[in-house]
């Protein structure tokens, strides 16, 4: 079985939230661009980032 998932997040729902998971999607953690930049600035490694469309 092949499964393709492409996420789109409603900006009006997440507003100023920097870290969250979607209900029933425990493997994916979503972070804001602000948090991503802070993690990179502080030398946090071991993360892979994929851009998600905000609508």
What is the per-residue pLDDT for 39? 96
pLDDT digits (tens, 9 = 90+) for 6-48: 888 898 998 889 999 988 877 889 999 999 999 999 999 999 9
What's this model's pTM, rounded to 2 decimal places? Answer: 0.75
Asked if 6 contacts 55 with a C-beta cutoff of 8 angstroms, the reply is: no
pLDDT greater than 70 at residue 4: no
What is the per-residue pLDDT for 17? 94
Length of the chain: 55
Asked if 9 contacts 30 with a C-beta cutoff of 8 angstroms, the reply is: yes
Q: Per-residue confidence at 5, pLDDT binned at 50, 70, 90?
A: confident
> What are the respective helix, strand and coil percentages of the chain, to the nearest 5?
25, 25, 50
């Amino acid at each position: 079985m092949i499964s393709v998932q492409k996420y789109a997040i409603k900006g009006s729902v997440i507003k100023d939230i920097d870290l969250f998971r979607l209900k029933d999607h425990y493997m994916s953690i979503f972070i804001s661009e602000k948090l991503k930049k802070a993690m990179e600035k502080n030398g946090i490694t071991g993360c892979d980032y994929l851009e998600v469309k905000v609508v």
